[in-house]
Amino acid sequence: MDELLKIKDEALSQIEEVSTLKELNDLRVFYLGKKGLMQAAMKSMKDMSKDERASFGQVSNKVKQEITQSIEEKKEALEEAEMNAQLLEEDIDITLPSNALPLGSLHPLSVVKNDLEELFLGMGYQVAEGPEVESDHFNFELMNLPQGHPARDMQDTFYIDEKTLMRTHTSPVQAHTLLAAKGKGPIKVICPGKTYRRDDDDATHSHQFMQCEGLVVDKNVTMADLKGTLEVFAKKMFGEKRKIRLRPSYFPFTEPSVEVDISCHNCEGKGCPMCKHTGWIEILGAGMVNPRVLEMCGFDSTVYQGFAFGIGLERVAMLKYGIDNIREFYNDDLRFLNQFTRKG
């Protein structure tokens, strides 16, 4: 019995001291294994009396249990310590700076286009699209510019063949939209897109440029609606203090037609080089949709009226960002483009 208790004390204190799972396992084999101390102690039972054997058996079982339990507890503690050590070793230093990946920036024309879309979507418009390679029929005829009309000269055209051309404005999208609506309003669309004219490129002209068309058709649309809409556009694009003024003009597809000026955002209307010392900047063309256009595109002009406008995107971007050469938009010079960083 004393022997058993001695084995137990020794085992427990040795278990306490080991520091690796391997050592612990060696101890388990040494004490509890088939050729271990406990097994050897059991062997002496055969020489004992029945009573002795019973109490010896009891005690030895308890000793075995205690040693087993102690080994189990130590094993758990060692495993945990091992895992913690491993975690500590594999610790990732998240304060290390990462390699900066260069992020491109949005092209200024994309910025203006996105801003316009956001603005007009917020007023209930939808974004329409149309082809850049367009038929003479849509680009001119349906826009009330029949063959030989003098106003065709205002828009020098790249022809592909006699009946096909690069659209000179986004206005043909008006015709596509009206025809698709099959004579039924309301219609509220904008169409930003590329346009082409046979211009000699200089600081303010480019043979390829961008416009944003607007078209609203409904039963009670007036010039006041057009004016209110353009006022919102002017304030949102160029600041809340902007005013607009309408000057009479001429487009075959609108009647009456207007040229729209906004008060100069650069000098607050006092006069500066940007507004050529007039306090006003010409920004877009607009007007009430010519009833002839409505009729040609399947709308009853005694029931429906509409307004339309065409905004030059380069012009808006040049005024907004103080860019004085339209060629900057098409030169792909990173020193220029990188100035327009992503929002957010």
Q: Which residues contact 79 (CB under 8 A, 6 or more apart)?
A: 21
Contact, 304 vs 185, CB < 8 A? yes
Place of tokens 């975690």: 87
Residue nearest to ligand PHE (CB): 310
- Residue 18 exposed, middle or buried by CB count within 10 Å (0-12, 13-18, 19+): middle
Minimal distance, residue 127 CB to ligand PHE, in Å? 16
Query: Which helix or strand (DSSP H or E) is residue 247 part of?
Result: strand 244-251
- Residue 8 exposed, middle or buried by CB count within 10 Å (0-12, 13-18, 19+): buried
Distance of CA 232 to the CA centre of its chain: 25
CA–CA separation, 174 and 191 (whole Å):
9
Minimal distance, residue 197 CB to ligand PHE, in Å? 9
Minimal distance, residue 97 CB to ligand PHE, in Å? 51
CA–CA separation, 273 and 259 (whole Å):
20
DSSP class of residue 207 equals S
- Tell me whether residue 150 or residue 273 sits nearer to ligand PHE (CB atom): 150
- Tell me whether residue 74 or residue 169 sits nearer to ligand PHE (CB atom): 169
- Tell me whether residue 244 or residue 308 sits nearer to ligand PHE (CB atom): 308
Chain positions contacting ligand PHE, by CB under 6 A: 169, 171, 213, 251, 254, 285-287, 308-310
Tokens encoding 335: 């020193």
- Tell me whether residue 60 or residue 155 sits nearer to ligand PHE (CB atom): 155
Minimal distance, residue 309 CB to ligand PHE, in Å? 5
Alpha helix positions (H), the chain: 2-17, 21-32, 37-43, 50-89, 108-121, 136-139, 172-181, 223-238, 291-296, 313-321, 334-337
Tokens encoding 190: 């904008």
- Tell me whether residue 269 or residue 310 sits nearer to ligand PHE (CB atom): 310
Minimal distance, residue 326 CB to ligand PHE, in Å? 15
Minimal distance, residue 240 CB to ligand PHE, in Å? 25
Minimal distance, residue 224 CB to ligand PHE, in Å? 17
- Tell me whether residue 233 or residue 251 sits nearer to ligand PHE (CB atom): 251
CA–CA separation, 95 and 82 (whole Å):
26
- Tell me whether residue 233 or residue 309 sits nearer to ligand PHE (CB atom): 309
- Tell me whether residue 104 or residue 146 sits nearer to ligand PHE (CB atom): 146
- Tell me whether residue 171 or residue 229 sits nearer to ligand PHE (CB atom): 171
Minimal distance, residue 266 CB to ligand PHE, in Å? 24
Cα pseudo-dihedral 307, 312, 313, 315, rounded to 10: -140
DSSP class of residue 200 equals P
Minimal distance, residue 226 CB to ligand PHE, in Å? 10
